[in-house]
Amino acid sequence: MITAVYPGSFDPITNGHLDIIKRSAKTFDKLIVAVLNNPNKTPMFDLEERVDLIRQSISDLNNVEIDCFSGLLIDYMQNKNVNVIIKGLRAISDFEYEFQMALMNRKLNKEIETLFMMTNSDYSYLSSSLVKEAFRFGGNIENLVPDIVIQKMKEKL
């Protein structure tokens, strides 16, 4: 049985994330979506809200678990006894950073493999920060994030 971890900030979850989650859930026996608690950043949604939005967006997937972590991803994975990291790749601009991260993580623990999944072309330009920016200035973000996210964003404003 192979379990993979899909880490990220998910502030908030977008349809691009959701696409990676669905495809990974099909590819692996189990997927853990691991939400990063980063004390150096002020998110739009706190950890609990981000987890909640993911939970409501994936209620139809029964082999996906949601969890939180802080500190080193490698340490979290060792504790969970999982050794596959899933990352989404949108563009060449993602590549350099992800390449660095993957090599650093392998240096820290050579048992852990990072696997990359290409974005769905419909969402290749999509990021949480761009969605938030568009929304702040009144842009229509329908079809870019789950409806529940739009609802919660409206409540925030």
Catalytic site positions:
17, 41, 90, 128
Interface pick for ligand ADP out of 23, 80, 90, 106 (rule CB under 6 A): 90
Q: Are 16 and 37 in contact (CB under 8 A)?
A: no
Paired strand residues for 64: 31
Q: Which is nearer to ligand ADP, 60 or 102 (CB)?
A: 102
CB of 125 to ligand ADP, least distance (A): 7
Residue 12 near ligand ADP by CB under 6 A: no
CB of 120 to ligand ADP, least distance (A): 7
Our CA dihedral for 119, 125, 126, 132, rounded to 10 degrees, sits at 170
Residue 88 near ligand ADP by CB under 6 A: yes
The residue whose two tokens read 């900030």 is: 9
Binders in 99-128 for ligand ADP, by CB under 6 A: 119, 123, 126-128
Tokens matching residue 153: 């964003």
Neighbours of 72 (CB within 10 A): 13
Paired strand residues for 68: 35
Residue 30 near ligand ADP by CB under 6 A: no
Q: Are 91 and 16 in contact (CB under 8 A)?
A: no
CB of 47 to ligand ADP, least distance (A): 13
Residues in touch with ligand ADP (CB under 6 A): 8-10, 14, 16-17, 20, 87-88, 90, 94, 119, 123, 126-129
